[in-house]
């Protein structure tokens, strides 16, 4: 975080969010081709980038175009350097490898499988390569075999300004924070996510970014917190984001002089109302000081809409 000038009379809290909560995975897939059957086989990295030692998730999809029903399905895969943390039923795992007997797939149907790996402890990438073998009856009588192959990779980023991992489904509120990110400053950002039934990738990073609304540029006293969540279900209540600054970082600022601006993908800017409380369920923010002396901290709490995409700055 780059300290901002303390001479600013009015300051802006900077928060950048991309809440991909519409059931859309991060698409970094390559598409495999079939030899004979009319089908599609893809391997997709659901977590585009993760931190060392965190979990990376991959999705494998087999889709029939409706002309053939598959009688036997065999799937194998491996991601050298990683360790399988979870795999679907019907799969046997060992270290970085898995082997699956998946039975049959009716004509016109889709099979979707999810694998979660513990990533290596060093920066680089984790690449999953999967091969599929199927047997089906062509023209109602002739038994035919076919094979597919595809791969995808998740980047492993070792940076104090970045955190990325795979959050499993959870039945109670999940809290995570940027504590330890950019260790040279006193900002801590925590995010509360309500219970969700599906797992999702998570990314947190601090970026030095200004806010441009039309022809006007805003500058805050902290770096942007870049948060990306992809999930298959709408979150309710809204995401709650809390930013905490030590007094030594920002000096004394009246909470009433703090602004918050939300910037959408098309560049439009919105200034939400003040006055959030823990029973609220809207797009709003509030700010206050807590603690005493050298331990005094400025706290900004923001409720973000959870059913769409956008930038909050």
CATH label of the domain that carries residue 93: 2.60.40.10
Q: What is the pLDDT of residues 1-50, one digit of tens each?
A: 333 332 222 345 444 444 333 333 444 444 455 555 667 899 999 888 99
Q: What is the DSSP string of 163-206?
A: EEEEEPPBSS-EEEE-TTTTTTS--EEEEEE--BSS-EEEEEEE
**Domain end among 108, 125, 156:** 156
Tokens of 41: 């086989």
Measured from the Cβ of residue 233, the count of other Cβ atoms closer than 10 Å reads 16
201 with 216, same domain: the answer is yes
Residues 116 and 180 in one domain: no
Q: Domain check: are 207 and 82 in the same one? A: no
The helix (run of H) or strand (run of E) holding residue 55 is strand 55-64
pTM: 0.73
Domain identity same for 243 and 274:
yes
Q: Is there a single domain that holds both residue 34 and residue 152?
A: yes
Evaluate if residue 306 carries a pLDDT over 60. no
> Cα–Cα distance between 154 and 56 in angstroms, integer?
7
Asked, for residue 5, whether it belongs to a domain, the answer is no
Domain-embedded: residue 2: no
User: Does residue 299 share a domain with residue 173?
Assistant: yes
Answer yes or no: is 15 within a domain.
yes
Q: Is residue 194 part of a domain?
A: yes
Kindly report, residue by residue over 102-150, the tens digit of the pLDDT.
988 888 889 999 999 999 999 999 999 999 988 876 655 667 788 889 9
Number of domains in the chain: 2
Terminal alpha carbon distance of the chain: 15
193 in Cβ contact with 235 (< 8 Å): yes
Q: Which residue has the higher pLDDT, 19 or 60?
A: 60
- 165 and 196: one domain? yes
Q: Domain check: are 303 and 218 in the same one?
A: yes
Structural domain span for residue 181:
11-22+159-312
The last residue of a domain, from among 122, 156, 190: 156
User: Are 173 and 275 within one domain?
Assistant: yes
Q: Measured between alpha carbons, how far is residue 71 from residues 68, 104, 107, 146 in Å?
A: 9, 5, 10, 12
Residue 6, domain member (yes or no): no
Shared domain for 147 and 180, answered yes or no, is no
Which of 121, 156, 191 is the last residue in one of the domains? 156
Q: Which two tokens stand for residue 292?
A: 């005493």
Q: What is the pLDDT of residues 157-175, one digit of tens each?
A: 998 888 888 888 888 888 8
Has residue 283 been placed in a domain? yes
Q: Are residues 147 and 168 in the same domain?
A: no
Is residue 139 one of the residues assigned to a domain? yes
How does pLDDT run across 193-238, given as a tens digit for each residue? 888 777 888 887 776 667 777 788 877 766 666 777 754 455 666 7
Clarify whether residues 180 and 247 are in a common domain: yes
């Amino acid at each position: 975080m780059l300290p901002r000038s303390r001479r600013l009379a009015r300051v802006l809290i900077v928060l950048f969010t991309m809440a991909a909560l519409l059931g859309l995975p991060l698409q970094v897939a390559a598409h495999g081709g079939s030899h004979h059957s009319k089908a599609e086989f893809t391997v997709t990295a659901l977590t585009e980038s993760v931190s060392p030692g965190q979990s990376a998730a991959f999705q494998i999809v087999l889709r029939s175009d409706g002309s053939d029903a598959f009688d036997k399905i065999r799937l194998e895969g491996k991601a050298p350097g990683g360790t399988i943390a979870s795999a679907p039923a019907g799969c046997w795992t060992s270290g970085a490898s898995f082997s699956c007997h998946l039975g049959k797939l009716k004509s016109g149907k889709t099979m979707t499988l999810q694998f979660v790996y513990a990533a290596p402890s060093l920066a680089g990438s984790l690449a999953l390569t999967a091969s599929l073998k199927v047997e089906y009856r062509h023209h109602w009588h002739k038994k035919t075999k076919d094979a597919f192959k595809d791969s995808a990779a998740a980047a492993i980023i070792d940076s104090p300004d970045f955190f990325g991992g795979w959050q499993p489904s959870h039945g109670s509120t999940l809290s995570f924070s940027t504590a330890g990110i950019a260790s040279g400053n006193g900002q801590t950002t925590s995010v509360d996510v309500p219970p969700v039934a599906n797992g999702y990738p998570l990314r947190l990073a601090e970026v030095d970014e200004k806010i441009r609304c039309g022809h006007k540029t805003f500058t805050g006293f902290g770096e942007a917190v870049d948060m990306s969540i992809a999930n298959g279900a709408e979150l309710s209540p809204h995401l709650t984001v809390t930013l905490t600054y030590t007094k030594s970082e920002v000096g004394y600022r009246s909470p009433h002089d703090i602004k918050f601006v939300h910037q959408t993908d098309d560049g439009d800017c919105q200034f939400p109302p003040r006055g959030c409380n823990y029973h609220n369920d809207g797009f709003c923010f509030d700010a206050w000081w807590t603690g005493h002396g050298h331990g005094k901290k400025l706290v900004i709490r923001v409720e973000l809409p959870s059913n769409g995409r956008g930038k909050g700055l």
